[in-house]
Every structure is written in C-alpha cells, then in structure tokens.
Structure 1
Amino acid sequence: MTKTLTMLAVLILLPAGAALAGDDCFVPMSLWQPRAAVIALAAQNHWTLRRIKIDDGCYQIDGTDAQGRRIEVTLHPATLQVTRIEYEDHDDADND
C-alpha cells in the first residue's frame, strides 16, 4: 500500500517539477513556427539578426534592436510569443 501511495505521489509531483523548470519550451517540433516566421517577426520589431538558435527547446535570437543595443530574445516556438528579452548593456565607453 505504501509503495502505491509513494508512486502516486511521485506521479502527481512530476508535472509540478516540470513546471518549475523555468523557461524551457516543451512543444513538439510539428507545432513549431518555421524559421522564416522568426525572421519576419524580427523584421517587424526592427531587430537586426546575428544568429537564431534553439536553446532549451525555445527559439533564441541574438542581435540588435532598433536603437542598436545588443539583445537576446527568447521566443515560444509554437506561438512566437516573446518569453524573455535581455539587453546586453556594456559600459565600455570612457566617461572623460
């Protein structure tokens, strides 16, 4: 009986643990938007692309925004919704 209850508890908690995994995108490849759609989205947002890659099952864009700031954008592969955008600000300029 305790074995059954333990296994039941594990099965119940397993999906909760997957939900806590963060911003990983768990979507079957058959539901992904094509790479051309990612490029079109970048153009609509005036992003200049350096690279498109897949990271943790999500599309990830490295490039620059309309103001020339370096950005890293994470997109949900099925909806192309922006799940995270990071600005890579580097204060390398001298303030003389």
Structure 2
Amino acid sequence: MPRLFRLRRLALPLVLATGMGTAALASEHDCRVPMADWQPIAAVNALMQKRGLTVRRIKIDDGCYEVKARDAKGNRVELRLDPGTLRVLEPERQDDD
C-alpha cells in the first residue's frame, strides 16, 4: 500500500507539469505588441485587398488580428496577423464551401 501512495504523490506533479507545458505552447501564438504600436484596421484592409481578398470580419484574438475573408473564387480564408507588422503568423486556412 505505501508504494501505491508514493505513485499517487508523483502522478499529480507530472500531470500539472504536462498541463503547464501545453499552456506554454498555446501562448506561443499570442501577440504581445503594445496597442500604441498597432497598425490601424485600414492598413489590414489595404493588405487584404492587395492580396486579392474580400474582408468579411476582422477581430482581435489573443492580442493578434484575426481576419476572415474570401478569395476571388469565394473560398473562405482565415489569417492571423501580428498587429505591429501585419506579418502573417499562421498559414492561411481555406475552406472550400
């Protein structure tokens, strides 16, 4: 019985450490740009037009711009942008609907 108790005592810290590692990975895609350094929404719209996309929605998620748009063929496109540089942080996701 004492051995089982020791195993249980070790299990909790391992589970917590694993969860903390997952949270750290999830926060890699967060943007940490001060609001004073953000590009305006108009610049996001201009960039999307330059890429040939029609913007449907721009929102802020985890401190980043998240853009939902449609390409010339009408496919849905989702982009996540750094608000300071407007660099694409995640590859485009397209849904053929």
Q: Secondary structure at the match of 1:41?
A: helix
Q: TM-score, normalised by structure 2?
A: 0.69
Correspondence for 1:44: 50
Alignment RMSD (CA, Å)? 2.0
Q: Which amino acid aligns with 2:96?
A: D
Cα deviation for residue 18 of structure 1 reads: 8.3
- Larger relative helix fraction: 2
Deviations along 1:40-71, whole A, 9 cap, x unmatched? 00110010011110011100111101222101
Cα deviation for residue 35 of structure 1 reads: 0.6
Distance (whole Å) between structure 2 residues aligned to residue 45 and residue 73 of structure 1: 12
Any runs of at least 4 consecutive aligned residues in structure 1 with deviations exceeding 3 A, and if so which? Answer: 17-20
Correspondence for 2:37: 31
Q: TM-score, normalised by structure 1?
A: 0.69
Cα deviation for residue 86 of structure 1 reads: 1.0
Correspondence for 2:64: 58
**Percent same amino acid at aligned positions?**
51
Work out the number of aligned pairs and report it. 75
Correspondence for 2:78: 72
List alignment gaps of at least 5 residues for structure 2: 1-21
Cα deviation for residue 30 of structure 1 reads: 0.5
Larger radius of gyration: 2
